């Protein structure tokens, strides 16, 4: 008998009520995450990656209307009371936010910020929390952890701040780690170190990871599966190696084509056109105005998800690698 997924999201929809009318940021999105698996969520800015993950823990503003279900170990996160959800946040599901410089409190030391999580969720004493904080800083390879306890975020480099955020997220040994652009704005060497750390965490702790990124190199390096979003809808989902070898959706093909490669003469390829504002999406396929395969059918109807012969889930009337 197959074990149930750790996370099962079904028909997730997120709508924001604005002065100019409703904006559908996520539209009937479904996906699963197995225990210990790394799922990469990719797409251009504004495609709904971060909103999707924030909605799982109900961290969106009050103007957001969330529909669908998100079963985490059989419990619907979207139906939990505020008190029940607070016992899940940070304890069973942790979030590494995109900008550690703004996510960390500038007036609190490293020890206080990590220790607060430990005391609140695990009930540790101050002395126990300090010892555990040192262990966590060692886990994420921060040198001289005893000295770092008394430092403030502004005294740390960008890579160090990101490691502190990861240490805080791992404080209670969560089963699911959501990492939002964990390598953004870091130099190449620091990025490599953060990715190696994520791999090590997964191997040592068995933590499942939702990885939000626009960097396909990061996805190729660490993810088991890839979910491609466009304008709040699933465009394609497949195993990482299969998606890179034979992408089926024209948007995925275009994303991979835009990755810089040796021998291109220094010229970067771009996806023609622009992403429409979400309140102005066409009636049919969201990608229709930028798609080289578009036919009248694409502008009239929204393509449903179908499984190709290669095993990909694709929302396209004319899927294929070309």
Q: What is the mean pLDDT of each run of 10 residues along the chain (322 residues)?
A: 86 91 92 96 92 95 94 95 91 88 90 93 93 93 93 92 91 93 79 86 90 89 95 96 94 89 72 84 91 92 90 92 75
pLDDT of residue 102: 82
pLDDT of residue 270: 84
pLDDT of residue 263: 66
pLDDT of residue 275: 82
pLDDT of residue 260: 77
pLDDT of residue 1: 53
Q: What is the 3-state secondary structure (H, E, C) of the chain?
A: CCCCCCEEEEEEEEEEEECCEEEEEEEEEEEEECCCCEEEEECCCCCCHHHHHHHHCCCCCCCEEEEEEEEECCEEHHHCCHHHHHHHECCCEEEECCCHHHHCCCCCCHHHHHHHHHHHHHCCCHHHHHHHHHHHHHHCCCCCHHHHCCCCHHHCCHHHHHHHHHHHHCCCCCCEEEEECCCCCCCHHHHHHHHHHHHHHHHHHCCEEEEECCCHHHHHHHCCEEEEEECCEEEEEEEHHHHHHCCCCHHHHHHHHCCCCCCCCCCCCCCCCCCCCHHHCCCCCCCHHHCCCCCHHHHHCCCCCEECCCCCEECCCCCCCC
The pTM for the full model equals 0.92
pLDDT of residue 46: 87
pLDDT of residue 134: 95
pLDDT of residue 264: 65
């Amino acid at each position: 008998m197959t074990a149930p997924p750790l996370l099962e999201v079904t028909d997730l929809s997120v709508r924001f009520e604005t002065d100019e009318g409703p904006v559908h940021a996520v539209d009937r999105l479904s996906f699963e995450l197995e225990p210990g698996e790394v799922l990469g969520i990719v797409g251009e800015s504004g495609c709904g990656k971060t909103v999707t993950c924030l909605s799982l823990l109900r961290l969106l503003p009050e103007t957001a209307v969330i529909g669908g279900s998100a079963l985490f170990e059989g419990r619907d996160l979207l139906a939990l009371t505020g008190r029940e959800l607070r016992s899940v946040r940070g304890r069973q599901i942790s979030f590494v936010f995109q900008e550690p410089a703004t996510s960390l409190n500038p007036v609190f030391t490293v020890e206080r910020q990590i220790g607060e999580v430990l005391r609140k969720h695990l009930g540790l004493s101050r002395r126990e929390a300090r010892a555990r904080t040192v262990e966590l800083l060692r886990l994420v390879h921060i040198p001289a952890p005893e000295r770092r306890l008394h430092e403030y975020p502004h005294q740390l480099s960008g890579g160090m701040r990101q490691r502190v955020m990861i240490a805080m997220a791992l404080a209670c040994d969560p089963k699911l780690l959501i990492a939002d652009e964990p390598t953004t704005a870091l130099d190449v060497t620091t990025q490599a170190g953060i990715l190696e750390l994520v791999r090590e965490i997964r191997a040592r702790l068995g933590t499942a990871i939702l990885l939000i990124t626009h960097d396909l190199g990061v996805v190729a390096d660490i993810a088991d599966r890839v979910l491609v979003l466009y304008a709040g809808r699933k465009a394609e989902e497949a195993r990482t190696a299969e998606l890179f070898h034979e992408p089926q959706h024209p948007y995925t093909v275009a994303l991979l084509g835009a990755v810089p490669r040796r021998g291109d003469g220094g010229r970067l390829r771009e996806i023609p056109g622009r992403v429409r504002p979400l309140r102005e999406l066409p009636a049919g396929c969201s990608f229709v105005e930028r798609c080289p395969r578009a036919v009248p059918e694409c502008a009239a109807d929204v393509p449903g998800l179908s499984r190709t012969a290669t095993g990909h889930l694709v929302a396209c009337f004319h899927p294929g690698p070309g």
